[in-house]
Homo-oligomer: A and B are copies of this chain.
Amino acid sequence: MSPSDPATTRTGRPRSTAADAAILEATRALLVELGWSKLTVGDVATRAGVAKTTLYRRWAGKNELVVDAVAVLFDELEMTDRGSLAADVQGVVLQFAALLERPETRTALMAVVAESTRDDSLRRRIRSAIVERQKRLVVLGRERAQARGELRYEDDPSAAAHHADLIFDVIAGAVVHRTLVSAEPVDAAWASSFTALLMLGLAGAQDR
């Protein structure tokens, strides 16, 4: 997971764990100040008080570095129980939108996704560090809704997984598109409209 855990660290001076943290912190700070395209590896190293070689020993380049620096921010997303599926979804939508408004993520997320279209290892890194980790929110929301009786239990685990993927792409895609492509704010009104649409879609499926 962390860049500094070789399978077996036997001899020699061990890698500085402080350097890891300082580099990621500096990366986030400079993303805020400069944005993705003006961010340079050299600047990050300088800001972190670290030599460029130290950075390159851990990350292959700017792409990998930024994915790791930003991934942790997505772990801040939480879905507190608001009593109903609609309220839970709306809460997460607003949280996610707020995260995308932050300059670090705003400038970096689409950039690394763009790079990943030509770099499979980067794509895998994004998937494991960001995408798959956050699917937990969909799963959690569904479990709560099922416990409340809002949603039926799905017997086929494969169908359940596909359905979760679909919901995830719809929610994340809509919020990202609204925020970064359409460049319109995700306010309570939009979140409400979107949630209503989604709830109806989900509820309709129950009745078939």
Contacts and interface: CB of A to CB of B under 8 A. Distances in A.
Interface of A: 35-38, 106-111, 113-118, 123, 126-127, 131, 162-163, 165-166, 168-170, 172-178, 180-184, 190, 193-194, 196-205
A169 B181 CA distance: 9
Contacts of A205: 196-197, 200
Nearest to A167: B197
Contacts of A174: 169-170, 173-174
A82 B183 CA distance: 32
Q: Which of A201, A202, A203 has the most CB of B within 10 A?
A: A201
Q: How many copies does the complex hold?
A: 4
A113 B169 contact: no
A177 B183 contact: no
Contacts of A176: 173, 176-177, 181
Contacts of A168: 182
Contacts of A106: 117
Contact of A183 (B35, B127, B182, B197): B127
A184 B165 contact: yes
A60 to B, nearest CB: 14
A170 B182 contact: no
Contact of A180 (B36, B117, B201, B204): B117
Nearest to A207: B200
B183 A123 contact: yes
B165 A169 contact: no
A183 B168 CA distance: 13
B194 A126 contact: no
A204 to B, nearest CB: 3
A27 B180 CA distance: 24
11 contacts: A35-B117, A114-B114, A168-B182, A170-B197, A172-B177, A173-B178, A176-B176, A177-B177, A200-B200, A200-B201, A200-B202
